[in-house]
Amino acid sequence: MIHIENLTKCYGEQTVLCDLNLHIAPGEFAFLQGRSGSGKSTLLKLLYREEEQYGGTIKIDSILISEMSKHELRRKMGIIFQSFELLERKTVLENVALAGEVFGKGWADIESDVYRLLQRVGLNGKEHHFPHQLSGGEQQRVAIVRALLNKPKLILADEPTGNLDTETAFDVLHLLKELHVEEGIAMLVVTHSEQLMQAFPAKTWVMEDGRVHESARV
């Protein structure tokens, strides 16, 4: 699902990623860990093309991302952020539906999936709430539903539990693991939490000095 070879990324004279290689199979769940500033978020930004300039090759679903439009690339993936990235003046329903609308889908095309997913993550009855009326965990569940709406093959999650208390963080990661299995989606989850990685064993890539290596964790 993700195939990266000899990836290099520089900002001026600073090398952030250096000859990095990483492979994640379709339907696989993996963690990416590393110290702050090690390049984790830069790697994700390259994967969803918020950052464009780099050396080496990146393939998603066996296709070079440089040969896809951003629109085509982002149809293949959902993105979950630490800060939720919900629109404060839109309801839960509107925030989720927006993910379909940006790809030209009408309400009739997405209605059943919106309600199915909201119910699946425990948000039925919250459809008309605004983000400020929700807890942090509930806001992240909205963000998860939004990421899943277009049936992506890959989810990129950048510190998805970073703004949550420990109990809520475990609940959210447990949900992600379940959805990974139920929906058959590959997931790459960036986290610095040893507790979470111990509680949910999975392939773990460790980033150091701009490179990654696979840990022995399973």
60-85 burial: b if 16+ Cβ within 10 Å, else e = bbeeebeebeeeebbbbbbbbbbebe
Residue 214: predicted pLDDT: 85
Average pLDDT for the chain = 92
pLDDT in tens, 49-108: 999 899 999 999 999 999 999 989 988 999 999 889 999 999 999 999 999 998 888 899
Residue 190 pLDDT more than 60? yes
Residue 129: predicted pLDDT: 97
Residue 122: predicted pLDDT: 93
pTM for this prediction: 0.92
Domain range summary for the chain, segments of one domain joined by +: 1-76+152-218, 90-150
Q: What CATH number has the domain spanning 1-76+152-218?
A: 3.40.50.300
- pLDDT over 70 for what percent of the chain? 99
Residue 28: predicted pLDDT: 95
Q: What is the 3-state secondary structure (H, E, C) of the chain?
A: CEEEEEEEEEECCEEEEEEEEEEECCCCEEEEEECCCCCHHHHHHHHCCCCCCCEEEEEECCEEHHHCCHHHHHHCEEEEECCCCCCCCCCHHHHHHHHHHCCCCCHHHHHHHHHHHHHHCCCCCCCCCCHHHCCHHHHHHHHHHHHHCCCCCEEEEECCCCCCCHHHHHHHHHHHHHHHHHHCCEEEEECCCHHHHHHCCCEEEEEECCEEEECCCC
Would you place residue 38 in the very low, low, confident or very high pLDDT band (cuts 50, 70, 90)?
confident
Looking at the DSSP bridge assignments, the partners of residue 17 are 9
Residue 41: predicted pLDDT: 87
What distance in Å separates the CA atoms of residue 64 and residue 159, rounded to the nearest whole number? 26
- Mean pLDDT for 19-44 is 91
